[in-house]
Amino acid sequence: MTSLGRQEQAPHIAHVADKLGLMDASREAFMAAAQVHRFPHGMTVIQPGGPAQAYLYVIGGAVRMQLVGANGRAVTLLRIEADEPCVITTSCLFSHKPYPVEGVTEGEVTALTIPARTFDVLFAQDSAFRAAVLATFSTRVGEIILAMESSLFEPVPARLARALLAAGREGVVNATHAELASEIGSAREVVSRQLSRFAEKGLIALERGKIILKDRVALAREDIE
């Protein structure tokens, strides 16, 4: 992790303050308390059982939030993308409970934090900040519920097709079979078998280290069948 100098941090902090609707005294308190950090790709920035000590807002890059079972298998709940606060952190700040998930950076991540105490004061005293926090929180909680419903009730082919289409917007998916398994909440062996079936149908081509999407229309039909 690298902490940016205050001069380099200033435009990032101001941008987030704007996004959260902060003005006057609340903005000054936010600007004084905020810190901006950079994290390398693949770094675990949130540990299950660890305390949530600061409000977290991702400025650039993404953080994959995943549940990790006792057997080591991971299931992706959601991604915190650029220009988004971390809804899991917000939930832990509300409940004063430790993190239930693991957070891993995807690409280099730039993120802003403010101490939990500052978050509590702003949430209590500033209606614009409170509305911004709750709006994002409610939206992302709904997405988590949909992701869990998908993992529990949708067949693997549909979940895998959707994951491929989402990751391969440029026609290429740069992900391992294990990463795709984590994404859809399945086992690597199951994903490998299903990818082979997609390849036999001519929907994709399996190459070393990547997957080529050959028929997006047919793959989309797998998503809804």
**What does the pLDDT profile of the chain (225 residues) look like in tens digits?**
787 888 999 999 999 999 999 999 999 999 999 999 999 999 999 999 999 999 999 999 999 998 887 777 778 888 899 999 999 999 999 999 999 999 999 889 999 999 999 999 999 999 999 999 999 888 888 777 777 777 667 888 988 998 899 888 788 998 889 888 888 878 888 999 999 999 999 999 999 889 999 999 998 887 655
> What's the pLDDT score for residue 188?
86
Task: Give residue 184's identity as a one-letter amino acid code.
Answer: I
CA distances from 202 to 205, 211, 218 (A): 7, 12, 9
> What's the pLDDT score for residue 215?
92
Tally Cβ neighbours within 10 Å of residue 215.
14
Answer yes or no: are the C-beta atoms of 38 and 104 closer than 8 Å. Answer: no
> What's the pLDDT score for residue 120?
96
What is this structure's pTM? 0.74
State the Cα–Cα distance between residues 56 and 86, nearest whole angstrom.
Answer: 6
What CATH number belongs to 154-224?
1.10.10.10
The highest-level CATH class for domain 2-152 is: mainly beta
Roughly what angle, to the nearest 10 degrees, separates helices 24-33 and 116-125?
Answer: 170
Q: What burial letters (b/e) apply to 25-44, b meaning 16+ CB within 10 Å?
A: ebbebbbebbebbbbeeeee
- Domain layout of the chain by residue ranges: 2-152, 154-224
- Residue written as tokens 């305390």? 51
State the Cα–Cα distance between residues 136 and 146, nearest whole angstrom.
Answer: 16
Secondary structure class of 101 (helix, strand, coil): coil
Tally Cβ neighbours within 10 Å of residue 110.
18
